[in-house]
Amino acid sequence: MQTVEQGIVENGTLDALLNTVTCGELCKSADPMLNKAGAKPKHPLCLDAELSVTEGCEALAANKISSAPVYDAEKGGFIGMLDYRDLVAFVLSVLHKVPRDAPAIDAEMEVTDIVKRALMNKTGVPIKLVSNLSRENPLVALPASATVRTAVEEFSKNHVHRLIVLEPDQGASHFAGILSQSTVAGLVASSVGKLAGSLNPKAKSIWPTGNKTLEDVGLVGKEVISVVSEDTVLEALYMMHEHKISSVAIVTREDGENDLIGSISMTDIKAILADRKGWRRLYETCYDFFASMRYEQGLEAGGDDRVPLYVVHPNTTLIATIEKLAATRAHRVWIVSGSSNLVGVASLSDIMPLLLT
């Protein structure tokens, strides 16, 4: 079987590589356990539908992932994905912060049930009632034999960050793993970036679009959704929910410029759902919350900064941006001109369609 590393050398273009490597192969190559002698690959995480919201959030945080499929034993199958968008939608629903446009009766009853149960016990709502509450993370599955290009097309079309990979098993299919945008970014970085270039002099010509700057590909100058430091965390979550994005920048606005000073993402919801007192943090200012998260996670990491601000510039190339995203496992980097003037954002979701060009 052709290895991922061999693919780019033998096929000559990024498109050829994406059409050669399968989702199953990429999932396996991304599993660090496979690189250890005698080690078994880690079993892919799926969540029991009866877990509470708090338990679901803890599982995502403990495994350092932002979403996982939800399995309902009673129904005998997967019923959806749980991600931080759903948890944000849950928080906003409980606080009656999300306006709804005449949903179907069943949907209205479900949301009402969630709110009633949550008001009595915010930690006792099962994730089967919250999964897909945001309506922004559909469950998309691909066979392990599907090409990575097919996965990129699904990322772009369905606006999802992760796909379920299924392998055939005696006439049926079983859950083999999850393929993320980050894993695809890692493949591209290792095949076309500087490391690949040191091994293969032709790597730079494999994907001409990758040599264009962020300004060239249209990621500079678009409106960036942001909050000011005095806005509350609840307002930031509402902005993310309304605009269907997973992070907002925290800025100071002076002299017509937006100076980037921090950011809040949907994954920060874990700090709010961690305990009962966490709910009070919804009313902290965005900057205080960002600063406290930076401090607390730095302590947990033995002093390492685990809430950094990753930035690039308008003249940064697209492949250099992908390399940075792959190296940091971040989902987005902020584009700044000068030292801190925010002029754009480059997310993995922005980049996926560009891989097809």
pLDDT mean over 114-142: 75
Q: Which CATH architecture describes the domain 4-43+140-206?
A: Alpha-Beta Complex (3.90)
- CATH for 211-354 is 3.10.580.10
How confident is the prediction for the chain on average, in pLDDT? 81
Which of left, alpha, beta for 170 (phi over 0: left; psi -120 to 50: alpha)?
A: left
**Which is more confidently placed, 166 or 269?**
166
Which helix (H) or strand (E) segment holds residue 299: the answer is helix 286-300
Helix (H, G, I), strand (E, B) or coil at 259: strand
- Per-residue pLDDT of 282-304, as tens digits, reads 889 999 999 888 777 665 555 45
3-state helix, strand, coil in the chain (%, to 5): 45, 20, 30
pLDDT over threshold 90, residue 29 = no
Using CA atoms, how far residue 6 sits from 2, 208, 271, in Å, is: 6, 20, 42
- Per-residue pLDDT of 84-115, as tens digits, reads 888 888 888 877 676 544 343 344 445 556 56
Domains 4-43+140-206 and 47-130 share a fold: no
- pTM strictly above 0.75: yes
- CATH for 47-130 is 3.10.580.10
The domain ranges of the chain are 4-43+140-206, 47-130, 211-354
CB 91 within 8 A of CB 269: yes
pLDDT over threshold 90, residue 341 = yes
For position 276, what pLDDT does the model report?
64
